[in-house]
Structures are given as C-alpha cells and as structure tokens.
Amino acid sequence: MARAYDVRRLPGFGAIALLTFVLLYLPILVLVVFSFNAGSSQSEWDGFSLQWYAAAFANQQVQDVSIRSLWLAAVAAGVATALAVPAALATTRVSRFPGQTMIYALINQPLMVPEIVTGIALLICVAWVKVNTGYTGMGYLVAAHTAFCIPFAYLPIRARLETLDPTLERAASDLYASPVQAFRFITLPLLVPGIAAGFMLGFVISLDTVVITEFVKSAGQDTLPTYMLGQLRRIITPEMNAIATLFLALSLVFVTAFFLITRKRG
Amino acid sequence: MTPEIEITGLSKVFGQGAAAFRALTDIDLTVGTGEFFTLLGPSGCGKTTLLRMIAGFEAPTTGSLRINGDEVAGKGPNARPVNTVFQNYALFPHMTVAQNIGFGLKMLGRPRAEVDTTVAEMLRLVRMEAMAGRKPSEISGGQQQRVALARALAPRPRVLLLDEPLSALDLKLRKEMQSELKRLQSETGITFVFVTHDQEEALTMSDRIAVMSAGRILQLGTPHDIYHAPADRFVADFIGDTNFLTLPVIAVSGARATLTLPGGQTAEAILPDGVAPTPGQSVTAILRPEQAILTEPPGATLTATVRSAVFFGTDTHLHLTLGDGQPFVLRRQNTGDLPVPEPGSIVGLTLGPGVLRVVRD
Amino acid sequence: MARAPDPDRDRHGWKWLLSAPALVVLVLAASGPLLIVAVYSFLSPGNMGGVAWEPSLEGWFKVFFSRDIFDPENVSWNTANLTVFWRTVWLSIQTTLICAVLGFPTAWFIATRPPHRRALWLFLITIPFWTNLLIRTFAIQELIRGTGMLNTVLLALHVIDEPLQLLYSNFAILLGMAYVFLPLMVLPLYAAMDKLDFRLVEAGYDLYASRWRVLWHVILPLVKPGFVAGSILVFIPSIGAYVTPRVLGGGRTMMLGNLIALQFGQGRNWPLGAALAMLLLILVTVALVVYLRAVNAEDEEKRHG
C-alpha cells in the first residue's frame, strides 16, 4: 500500500525535536538520579541510598530556609491574588477608560524589567527605609515578592474572566440578584479556577525568585533559592541534589495542578 | 384588554455627537395581560433593544415604560417583575438544573420550602423532573431551553421576555418548542413578549405582532391583519412571499380603486388608509402567489407566459411573465399529480375577489 | 451592536478604586524604586557604599570611560566594561539563535502530533519553564564540571584524554542560557504553528513546491510572529541574566547583570551601578520597541493584505 504524502513532515525535524527533549530532561534526570547516590560523586554511581535526603532533612539551616520560602510564597501569592482579583475585575470586560494602558503597564512591569534591575532598585529603597525606620523584618521581602507575583496572579484571573459570558450576570440580575449577589453567586464561583491558578502561579514564582530575594533580604533571611545559590560556590555533595529534587517535586506538583485547573475550561 | 406593558414615546440613542446611533424612535406600544406578543423584524431593527429595555438592561433615552401601571424606566432588572429567556439560555454552568430554576426565588428571599415546591412544580411543567440534579453541560440544547424557560417562569413574573429563544435549535425541535411555548403560556397565563426574525414563527405563535424596521414599529396587528393587510411595501415583502405589480389607476371610489391589469382587463383593489391616488397615476399593488388561480387562457383575468416551473412537492411554483413584461410567481397547490406547464406555454390567471391590495411604497 | 453609554459605565472611578490596592503595591515595590535608581545614577558615590547627595555625571561617565588614577584628565575607553557589554549582547544573540534552531523543529514536532497528544508534549516543554531556573542552572553546572557526567562519559569513551575545562567560560554561560530559556522560544512558536492553516501548506505542495521551498516560502512567513515573540522572550531575559552567568561564568566571566551587582557589593559604586542598570533597562526597552514595531507592522500588513 502506498503511503499518503504527509504534508506535515519535514525531514530531520522529528530527530532534532526528540534530541531537544532529551537535552531538556537529561541534566535534570542526572541531578535527580545522583541525589540517590550512596557515594558523594556526581558522576559515579555507588549504589542506591537515601542518606542525602536524611542529611537534608536533618540540616537545621535547610529546614529554616525551606519553611521561610514556603511561608513567604504563601503570603506573597495570597496577597498578590487578593489584589489581582479586583484589579482584573476592573480592567477586564469593560469599555476602554483613561489610564487603562498605564494600569496594564504597571501590572506587567515586573515581567518586563530584568530581575537584577528590580533587585538593586529594591536594595536602594530598602537600605534607605532601614536607615530611617530601623525595621529589618520580613516586610521587605513580602512586599517585593507580592509586587513580583501580581502579574502572574493577574494573568490567569483575567484570562478566566474573559471567557466568562457576561449574559450570566445579566441573567442573575434579571432573576432579582443585586450586583453584590450576582458577584457572590455567579461571578466569584465561576472565577475560582482562575483565582486558584493565579495563586499557584504566584506561589511557584515566589518560590523560584532568587535575584530579588538576594538583594532585598536582611541577614538571616535566606530563602531556599538564596541558600542554594550561596552553597553552589562550595564543594557540592549530593545533599544539594536531594534538596533540589525535593524542590523540583514541589514545583512539579504546583505546575501539574495549574495545568489541570486551566485545562478544564468551558 | 388590561394593559400589562405601556410604552409611550420611547426612544433610544446610542453614542453621542456624530457617532450617535438612533436605535429606537418614538415607540408607542401597549401589550395586554396574558397576551402572546411578538416583536418581529430583520436583525438591527431595534427589537432586541426594545426587549432589553423592558427587561431593564438598557435605559431609554426618552419616553416612559410602565409595567402593570408602575413606571419602571429608572429601575434595574432586579427590581422589575419581568424575567428573560436569553438567546443563548445563559444557564449558570456551576449550578444544577434545580439550582438554576430556584435561583430567582432564592434571590427574592423566599423560604426554602417554597423554593423547593416551586422548583418541583416547574420541573414538572417543562417535563424535566429526571434532570433536576444535572449540570447544564450534561443536558441537550432542547433541554437547556426548557430549563431556561422554567428558570424564568419560576418567580411567576408578570411578563416573560423571550429573546429569539428558538434560534439555536434545529427545525424539528423548534417546531416542538413552539407548541410547548404556546402550552406554557396558556397554562400560566403570563404575558409573553417574544422577539424573532422568523416571520413564520411569529405568524403561528402570536396573538399580536409588531413589525419593526430601522427603530420604528411599521405595523401592529394580528397575524391575519399583517399577512393580508400589510401596511406598506416593507411589511408586505418581509411577511410571506408577494408579487409587486405596478399598475395604473383608472378610478377611485372611497377605499377602493379600479386598476388596469396587463392585458387590458380591470380589477378592483383595496386602498390602505390615507392613500388616495388620482386616476392616471401608477400604484404598487400586491398579490400573494397563492391568491391567483391557474386557468385556461380564454376567459382568464390575466394571461402570462411560463418561464420556468419549480416542483416543491406540496405545490409547484410557476415563474411567469405577464403581458407587459412584469414578472409574477404563482403557487399552485398540487391537489393531485397535475401536469406541469411547459416553459414558453401561455397560461391564464384568475383573481379572487378582494385579493388585490395597494400598498404604500 | 453598539454599547449603551450607560451613565454608570462612563464613570470610571470604580475601576481605579478596585485596581488601587494592586497599583499601590506595584508603585511602592516595583515602579517607584526604578525612578530612584534613575535619580541615583546622577549622584556621587558615598564612602562606604550608598550615595552622597551631590549631583554628578561621573556614574554615567564611568559606564563607558575610565580615568587614569594619577592623571584624571587622561581619559580612555573603559575596556573592562565594554568587554562585558559586548559579551552580554553577543551571548544573548547566540542564545536566541540556538533557541530558534532547536525550538523551531521542536515546536513543529509538537504542532504536528495528533491533537490529544499535543497537550502532553506541551506539558513536557512547560515543566522546565516553571521549574526553578537556579536548579536547572545547577544541573548544567553538575553536568559539565571537571568531574561531572559529561567528562566522565567522554573519558570512558576515550574521546578525550583529560577532562575538558568547560565551566566558567563564555561557552558554559551560553549553554546554560540556551538550556534555561529554550521553552520561551518553543511556546510562542507553537502558538503560531497551532494557528497555521495546513491547507496553505497543501496548496504549496499542490503548486509543485519542494519540502524546503514550502518551508521557506509558506511555513516560515506564516509563523514569523511566533519567531519574533520567541526571540524577544529569549533575548530579554538573556540580556538581563544574572544567576546563570554567576553560577556558570564564575567571578571572571561576567555579564551586565553581574557587573551591576558588583557595584553594589565589592565595587561600592552605587551611582555607577545605577547607571549600568539604567543602561540595561534602555537595552530592554529598545528590544521591546523593536518587537512592538514588528508586531504593529505585521498587523498593518494583515489589515491591508
């Protein structure tokens, strides 16, 4: 039987694509595999062991920075989402209004400006505020991470709002719902997947943020990424691989959840 | 007729200045309690805007709108005893069928027991008892339509507004829902205001029809009036099929005029109110395709040449050319296996009394 | 249909009110600080870091020039900085090219899978995109270090006799950046290909074009917007990269981001750091403007075409 002429086929493209996938996953795979290495080498396999995980869990500093990272991500993503919902409501599905472009620019600014620039900008401001108030708490990190998370929380909420049929709210008001009731019973429940996605994206972003944290943190405010960045200068043991693997697993859970939530649209 | 909706001098202008668009102009309209009233017109004629204004989604630019005697022009949709069946149904996707139907009553703060009883009653009314626990995405389009109806009827509104609710259904389901709607209306006694661009739907379902075009009501009347006595050329053209003939006037007496037909014979035509042509002037007269009867040429009122014949099963459409070259379509009922006239052959036409009617251009 | 000029809709106050909380945070912790950076770039350096409140153009001057320590009138090009700028731009361009060369076939591969499989392949591209950049850089570091997997395998296969010193070089940075930013090229390319009407490709073949001619004359012009978007998405983070060159370039092979950081650390020259940061911001803005121009030109073409 003759094979149909496949217009989608371009010779060699499949091979390059598969090579790309291999290249994308190989380094991560090596990293994960050697986190289970019984020896301390990154290239020679000495048998399976969970000793590096045990070491990571027993490491007080790792515990501290992990808890700080999770706490910071939860607070920053939570606040950013809470701020992004009203902002999305005000800027989506509405007629154009003066200043709309400026609001967009402000919200998306953290996506455009290189992190290093935001980092040193915050360093300058934090230094100034510290000198004048003496406050050295987590507030700086919370504010910096929140601002950085806002666009990531805003985008999925906005995307969800745009797919929402405005006649649903009209139908609610036709059925005697006040504007507040229409929001409470119709808009908000339908927005939940977008809000959840926005929170998760914000959480992952905060968890990953290293440059901004590096410049804003005070002494003793290391997060997991800044701790790792500091450790990379030293001789590295597979304990680092174990920490990185756990970190990867956590991100993976969130990314998967995000994917499942945003896919179930419509 | 007890008035349910009274609209006087209503106008709606969208936009401002040079971009202003006049959607409705000087609408005067009274809909009676318990009436099945239809707003009919091509898209863009303003019928949906008028419906949205009754519902409270648009505010009139000028004029007054009363429902059951109360001025509602300043009230929001949630303060009007009016419910809407939306074109796309607008069922709440996150609620079950029963929750959708009960939503209005819940918002009105009715006790739980009353909500449950009414929901059960409504489910029975639209024959959807078995689907109470389903989500809108789990039922068919026709079923969604029924739920939308039940949801709008549950709060017992004084007026039910229907915005082209059948347009998304296929032909068979549409016919079914048409009779379903008629049944619901007679069972509930609620005033229905129905918007459609489908003239056949309007004719079969309505007590009265308002034919609209370009933001105005051109004619208000029963389906019978609108079909047989269209107010002007637009209505005659929009409702049913019509032959328009340009004919000279010989004499006028009262509401009737004597016109000369192609071929020289004369015929009496009814004049609409306020139209008084002078003899010698030409007027436009209408003749529906089924109102001329096919006969043999001798003794016929008109003779015509057959150009083509199209067989439709129940009837055959003959495309003819009259003696003076004007085209004419005749619809012959196929009461048996009748012979189809050959193209080029000459046929005769006779007109029944009172079928020829002059229309305003 | 025209929208109603509902009087309530014409009042925009509520939109500002609802946006206000987010905007306040953004102004305080994102936009405001940038303005202060601009101001700082025109001040004099303080003794122990920080600034002295005396206006000065010395920060901007030192971006490009250096003065002889003994003879301040003797001005020469600041070759150390210029080397860093050149490396930054050149590595970013190379990164973008590598990502394009690998990303195009990959996006094409995904776009031509059966629809129900596409989501999975796309997900596989997205995972690295959302996993920590530091960890992915760390993974590359482990792979190419002297005693790493790559050298071990190459030595075992007798391809090389002694370990390659790949780490802390331009090559290492390039490899790392291409690795971490590749998904940013694939995703917009895929989005463009997903919208591609394959009947146009069929029409190309029908009109006697070869595979390569179809690729060049039909497919590439149609997915150009994806290329442009992908290139900008890779180029901008490359030019502002900090973590990747820091980890893979060591202390010596710096990019602009590291040079900026240096001024706020050991360098203790905040005005120079601020001026360098503004320079980076200007580069990014130029790239964005070029991008927006390209997008607008594309739209314009569509409107007239």
Task: Give the span between the Cα atoms of A40 and B7, in whole angstroms.
Answer: 87
Looking at residue A4, what is its pLDDT? Answer: 66
Q: Which residues in A lie closer than 8 A to residue B90 (C-beta atoms)?
A: 165, 167-168, 170-171
pLDDT band at C6 (very low <50, low <70, confident <90, very high): very low
Q: What percentage of residues in chain A have a pLDDT greater than 90? A: 69
Task: Give the span between the Cα atoms of B339 and B47, in whole angstroms.
Answer: 45
Chain B: residue nearest C1 by CA? B44
CB C2 to CB B23 under 8 A?
yes
Looking at residue C303, what is its pLDDT? Answer: 64
Q: Quick check: A210 contacting C, CB < 8 Å?
A: yes
> Average pLDDT in the C4-14 region?
57
| pLDDT value at C51 more than 90 | no
Which among B217, B51, B10 is positioned nearest to A170, based on CA atoms? B51
Q: Chain B closest CA to C10's CA: distance in Å?
A: 11
Q: Quick check: A104 contacting C, CB < 8 Å?
A: no
Q: CATH number, domain at A180? A: 1.10.3720.10
Chains that touch A (3 or more CB pairs under 8 A): B, C
CB C3 to CB B14 under 8 A?
yes
Q: CATH number, domain at C264? A: 1.10.3720.10
**What is the β-pairing status of strands B266-270 and C75-77?**
unpaired
* Residues near A163 by beta carbon (within 8 Å), at least 6 away in sequence: A265, A266
Q: At C49, is the secondary structure helix, strand, or coil?
A: strand
Greatest CA separation found in chain C? 80
Task: Give the span between the Cα atoms of A232 and C77, in whole angstroms.
Answer: 34
Q: Per-residue DSSP letters for A105-127? A: HHHHHHHHS-HHHHHHHHHHHHH
Range of the domain at C226: 119-130+182-304
Quick check: is A44 in a domain?
A: no
Q: Looking at the 3D structure of chain A, how many domains does it have? A: 1
Q: Is the dihedral of CA B329, B332, B333, B336 positive or negative?
A: negative
CB A175 to CB B155 under 8 A?
yes
Which among A61, A32, A50, A115 is positioned nearest to A228, based on CA atoms? A61
Chain A: residue nearest B148 by CA? A171
Q: Chain A closest CA to C19's CA: distance in Å?
A: 4
Q: Quick check: A164 contacting B, CB < 8 Å?
A: no
Q: Which residues in B lie closer than 8 A to residue A186 (C-beta atoms)?
A: 92
Ranges A77-81, A226-230, B12-16, C12-16, most confident: A77-81
Looking at residue B17, what is its pLDDT? Answer: 78
Burial of C255 (0-12, 13-18, 19+ CB in 10 A): buried
Q: Looking at the 3D structure of chain C, how many domains does it have? A: 1
Q: Chain B closest CA to C29's CA: distance in Å?
A: 38
Interface residue of B54, B85, B86, B163 to substitute, partner A, most A CBs within 10 Å = B86
Chain C: residue nearest A91 by CA? C15
Interface residue of B12, B14, B16 to substitute, partner C, most C CBs within 10 Å = B14
Give the number of C-alpha atoms closer than 13 A to the C-alpha of residue A46, restricted to the C-beta side.
12
Q: Which residues in A lie closer than 8 A to residue B55 (C-beta atoms)?
A: 174
Q: At C48, is the secondary structure helix, strand, or coil?
A: coil
Q: Quick check: B14 contacting A, CB < 8 Å?
A: no
CB B107 to CB A177 under 8 A?
yes
Q: Which residues in C lie closer than 8 A to residue B24 (C-beta atoms)?
A: none
Strands lying side by side in the sheet with B159-163 = B82-85, B159-163, B191-196, B36-40, B208-213, B216-221
> Average pLDDT in the C230-251 region?
92
Chain C: residue nearest B59 by CA? C6
Interface of A with B in 224-253 (CB under 8 A): none
Q: Which residues in C lie closer than 8 A to residue A101 (C-beta atoms)?
A: none
Taking only the tens of pLDDT, chain B with its 361 residues reads 789 999 999 999 988 877 888 899 999 999 999 999 999 999 889 999 999 999 999 889 999 999 998 998 888 899 999 999 998 899 999 999 999 999 999 999 999 999 999 999 999 988 899 999 999 999 998 899 999 999 999 999 999 999 998 887 888 888 888 888 999 898 889 999 999 999 989 999 999 999 999 999 999 999 999 999 998 899 999 998 999 999 999 999 888 899 998 888 888 899 888 888 888 899 999 999 999 888 888 888 888 999 999 998 889 999 999 988 899 999 999 888 888 888 999 999 998 888 899 998 8
Q: Which residues in C lie closer than 8 A to residue A211 (C-beta atoms)?
A: 242-243
Average pLDDT, chain A: 90
Quick check: is A90 in a domain?
A: yes
Range of the domain at A83: 59-264
CB B15 to CB C6 under 8 A?
no
Nearest to B21 among C2, C6, C7 (CB): C2
Quick check: is A71 in a domain?
A: yes
| pLDDT value at C220 more than 90 | no
Q: Per-residue DSSP letters for A143-188? A: HHHHHHHHHHHHHHHHHHHHHS-HHHHHHHHHTT--HHHHIIIIIH
Quick check: is A226 in a domain?
A: yes
Which among B207, B262, B239 is positioned nearest to B34, based on CA atoms? B207
Strands lying side by side in the sheet with B327-333 = B292-295, B346-351, B302-311, B315-322, B327-333
Interface residue of C124, C149, C166 to substitute, partner A, most A CBs within 10 Å = C149
CB B23 to CB C5 under 8 A?
no
Looking at residue A244, what is its pLDDT? Answer: 92
Give residue for tokens 């700028």: C85
What does the block give as tokens for B293? 């009867």
Quick check: is C95 in a domain?
A: no
Interface residue of B16, B67, B91, B103 to substitute, partner A, most A CBs within 10 Å = B103
Give residue for tokens 């016109």: B259
Beta strands in chain B (DSSP E): 3-14, 21-32, 36-40, 62-67, 70-71, 82-85, 159-163, 191-196, 208-213, 216-221, 243-253, 256-260, 266-270, 282-287, 292-295, 302-311, 315-322, 327-333, 346-351, 357-359
Q: Are B195 and B43 in contact (CB under 8 A)?
A: no
For the stretch C152-191, pLDDT in tens is 888 888 888 888 888 889 999 999 999 999 999 999 999 9
Which among B333, B330, B306, B304 is positioned nearest to B317, based on CA atoms? B330
Looking at residue A264, what is its pLDDT? Answer: 59
Query: Distance from CA of residue C102 to its chain's centroid?
Result: 17
Q: Chain C closest CA to A130's CA: distance in Å?
A: 13
Q: Are C98 and C184 in contact (CB under 8 A)?
A: no
Quick check: is C248 in a domain?
A: yes
Q: Quick check: B2 contacting A, CB < 8 Å?
A: no
Chain A: residue nearest C201 by CA? A7
CB B15 to CB C2 under 8 A?
yes
Q: Which residues in B lie closer than 8 A to residue C2 (C-beta atoms)?
A: 14-15, 21, 23
Looking at residue C116, what is its pLDDT? Answer: 85
Q: What percentage of residues in chain A have a pLDDT greater than 70? A: 97
Chains that touch B (3 or more CB pairs under 8 A): A, C
Quick check: is C228 in a domain?
A: yes
Looking at residue C261, what is its pLDDT? Answer: 94
Among A87-91, A157-161, B232-236, C218-222, where is mean pLDDT lowest? C218-222
CB B78 to CB A167 under 8 A?
no
Q: What share of chain A is helix, strand, coil (3-state, %, to 5)?
A: 75, 0, 25
Query: B interface toward C at CB cutoff 8 Å?
Result: 14-16, 21, 23, 48, 58-59
Quick check: is A254 in a domain?
A: yes
> Average pLDDT in the A4-21 region?
82
Quick check: is A24 in a domain?
A: no
| pLDDT value at C99 more than 50 | yes
Quick check: is A155 in a domain?
A: yes
Quick check: is A250 in a domain?
A: yes
Q: Quick check: C2 contacting B, CB < 8 Å?
A: yes
Q: Chain A closest CA to C86's CA: distance in Å?
A: 18
CB B92 to CB A168 under 8 A?
yes
Quick check: is C24 in a domain?
A: no
Q: Chain A closest CA to B269's CA: distance in Å?
A: 49
Q: Which residues in B lie closer than 8 A to residue A196 (C-beta atoms)?
A: none
Q: Which residues in C lie closer than 8 A to residue B16 (C-beta atoms)?
A: 5
Task: Give the span between the Cα atoms of B263 and B303, in whole angstroms.
Answer: 7
Task: Give the span between the Cα atoms of A253 and A258, in whole angstroms.
Answer: 9
